[in-house]
Amino acid sequence: MEKSCKQIEYTNNISVENYNALRKAVNWISVNEKRAAIALKNSFYLCVAVCDGNPVGMARIVSDGGYTYFITDVIVHPDYQGYHIGTELITRVLDYIEKDVLDGETIMISLMAAYNRESFYERFGFHTRPFGNHGSGMSMWFSRDINGKVTPL
Ligand SMILES: CC(C)(COP(=O)(O)OP(=O)(O)OC[C@H]1O[C@@H](n2cnc3c(N)ncnc32)[C@H](O)[C@@H]1OP(=O)(O)O)[C@@H](O)C(=O)NCCC(=O)NCCS
């Protein structure tokens, strides 16, 4: 294993500071503290990979607890990529959902793959959209600047 830790441990919590540090490490925008705290607290499930006490990866599920499960914030710190931590995180996330679904039930698991990351998820059974009667996934950034001007990006 990379660096000093012999074994990665998996926990279910991360501080706002460490969350934003992981985001920064993969060049994602920082989430403001208040929103980040709400986001983490309201996670349906949060899985964090820890090396020597330091978070080096994470994934979380946002869900209505009924029909929809959305996997988001899948991050492995660049120094620790390629050691199957991402695979372990997604496996744990999918195991959690599997245990949540009872016999005879059907639910939807979705995610927005970052550019060119589709093949990482396909190995778990995800379909790259569009396929069949499913259109492309869609998203929009939405910002309000310090003068109150709202801009969809
Ligand atoms: C995508 C990411 C989470 C993968 O984590 P990781 O721990 O490096 O991945 P793993 O080591 O578990 O890789 C598992 C397999 O997926 C493949 N894989 C890894 N990154 C990949 C990528 N970007 N695209 C396609 N396949 C990838 C690996 O080659 C590996 O294949 P193998 O089992 O045949 O060796 C990590 O690269 C990352 O955090 N990237 C930056 C943030 C990001 O894009 N997150 C995803 C947002 S949707």
pLDDT in tens, 11-59: 999 999 999 999 999 999 999 999 999 999 999 999 999 999 999 999 9
Domain 9-152 sits in CATH 3.40.630.30 = yes
pLDDT in tens, 52-69: 999 999 999 999 999 999
Ligand 1 centre to CA of 71 (Å) is 15
Which run of H or E residues covers position 48? strand 45-51
- Whether 127 and 134 have beta carbons less than 8 Å apart is answered as yes
Helices (H), 2-149: 16-25, 33-41, 85-100, 118-122
Count of beta carbons in the 10 Å neighbourhood of residue 110: 12
| Residue ranges of domains in the chain | 9-152
Closest-lying ligand 1 atom to the alpha carbon of residue 28: 42
For the chain, the C-alpha Rg in angstroms (whole number) is: 17
* Ligand 1 residue neighbourhood (C-beta within 6 Å): 26, 74-76, 81-87, 113-114, 116-117, 119-120
